[in-house]
Structure 1
Amino acid sequence: MSNNTDTVPESYPMNSGDGTNSYTENSYFQKAATNVVKAKIDDVIAEKLDVKKNSSTSESTFRLADLGCSVGPNTFLTMHSHTMQNIIDVVQHKYQSQGLASHMPEFQVFFNDHASNDFNTLFASLPQRRSYFATRVPGSFHDRLFPESSLHFVHSSYALQWLSKLLEELLNKNSAAWNKGRVHYASAPDEVAQAYTDQFAKDITTFLDCRAKELVVGGLMVLIMPGIPNGIHRSSAPTGMIFDFLGLCLIDMAKEGLISEAQVNTFNLPVYVASPKEMTQLVETNGCFNIERMETTQPRARVDGISGQALTKHLRAGMEGIISKHFGTKIIDELFDRFSKKQQESFNLLESKYNVGTQLFMVLKRI
């Protein structure tokens, strides 16, 4: 089942531990994102999960997977309490309300991320009082992770936007998709954007194929990721503007000789922001899922008083690893100092970008 060594998907671990620049201390945007969709997930379970079918089988365990769980308290204090534990609470309530309390299953939650993820910090945060058995599953969700028809519920929040690999055509000087002087596709030529789109489509196709095998018929999958409304240009997504700022800082540093221009030209952030239309087409092409929900939401509306400095720390916690891998660790403090100044100069413009739905929420049911 595993990938060959030359095709293993790239790993983009978040900053580990619990220090000032760790993901643990700087993941409140993800917390807000989870809070926004909590009620939506509750409704979907209440309406769409067929517990009578589960109770009629000899299966006595209800299995849930959190794919791309990352590190830090969000997985347990929000994605856990408000999502994984919440899912279990709602499922239990549905069993009881349907008169099936005597058929109540035991619950097992699988927390998945790349093997390089900081699982130690993650599991040190595990609540002692919990109503499930916890298991960690290292590996890429672009490959099979579980036996066939073994999962009843899959959850993934802010993980699917990461591409499985960097795009070779972006690095080829002779390619129309050479992304010279930029680190992302948001303000790049259409050929660059298309290269990103093609890779994202391949990744989601693989992801859906794997999950279709692993989910039982009637099983649910909740996916949450950065999104952009249909018909909105890619440059209007706030993530694109943020990455443009980062690229401009790197270019300035190259001009000053702190890094080389070639280093900038060979660096591309492997992050893609999809629209509902794109995801709908990919799901329909797969053919194994019904789309129960598909919408864009605005999690930022729930994040009050987030400063430019906080935004910088948040970006650093998520991106420092991949930037250090390419440029080395010495430039990191300087780069994010510059980023902080640049985004503060345009903070009002950046804030205005959040007027559009910036989060994609979807619920799929295995058919």
Structure 2
Amino acid sequence: MNAKEIRELFPILNQQVNGHPLVYLDSAATSQKPVQVIEAIDRYYREYNSNVHRGVHTLGTLATDGYEGAREKVRGFINAKESAEIIFTRGTTTGVNFVAHGYARNFIKEGDEIVITQVEHHSNFIPWQQIAKQTGATLKFIPLAEDGTITVEAAEQTITPNTKLVALGYVSNVLGSINPVKEVAAIAHRHGAVIFVDAAQAAPHIKVDVQDIDCDFLAFSGHKMAGPTGIGVLYGKRKWLEKMEPVEFGGEMIDFVDLYDSTWKELPWKFEGGTPIIAGAIGLGAAIDFIESIGLDAIRAHEHKLVQYAMDQLSTIEGLTIYGPKERSGLVTFTMQEAHPHDIATVLDTEGIAVRAGHHCCQPLMKWLNVSSTARASFYVYNTEEDVDALVKGLIKTKEYFGNVFS
């Protein structure tokens, strides 16, 4: 299937916004959902809505099979050794916090080092900032290259024998840069540290292989990869998950409860207290089926071609600055002299074009870039060169409008 054929599978894209055909360029914030995912969730609620694991009736069995079947699909999708290493969460943010509070707070002490970068999304920044405050550990930052990328050499110089944890995004949600997580993982392990990888912007676009990376933990969200909101995944090596304490307590995650003490279920249910996100997991499983039917290599190739076309076209607009490296994932972040990013997004919206504007939950990176905010156009499998052309046309209109206002 080509992008135009794929686009037909996304009902929301077949509409007009402000009198114009919708051009959706905000998939880095959340992707749209194909009919396969919508129908899978609808089928669960219409045909076999029930709680999982606890019941022996038919609906409960069907729901459990759907939920645990989705876990196995995730395992295969990221090449984990076993499904017990797959924890369903509410999203990447929850996954980071599970590792921060279930692992780091118990194994990091005063004098230890936590290494991160200024490029990180706040979700992979603030938890480590807080753990450093609570434990007395030192928070260190891998210095950035001129284009905002992270080099293996810089990581080598920053990670030391005192480093106990490295947290790194696989793909930047602002710059689109693809970080050398496998090489950084090797450096971390050589110094006896564990590594957490934020794959929220990677899992929808490139092949993520946790065994090849050799990461200790990795998290991503369903809603950025054609799945529903409210569902995410935390992967962890069994040896670490078994040592971690649960963060949420209650039903479903217990083995035995006495008056003064309790014991926990085996992995992965030890970390899934309460009624789990059943419909979300089933929807995520359908999203994985959809992505694999296209192929991540094909998705990557399509986005690479599209983002290079976008950068070439945007570079023709005088006064427009693009941030980040030439080789990148499927997004372009920029500013334009004539207009504030929020004004850019507002004018583009009148043309039916959806982009993101603001600090993108990356205020330390905005400070490093010496800007308060930027505009961002992000692409996915359903975008075309015509979408890029519409963006360029809309930006020229924005430039002309604000140029006339302030001339």
Query: Over alpha carbons, which structure has the higher Rg?
Result: 2
How would you bin the TM-score normalised by the shorter chain? 0.3 to 0.5
TM superposition score normalised by structure 2: 0.30
TM superposition score normalised by structure 1: 0.33
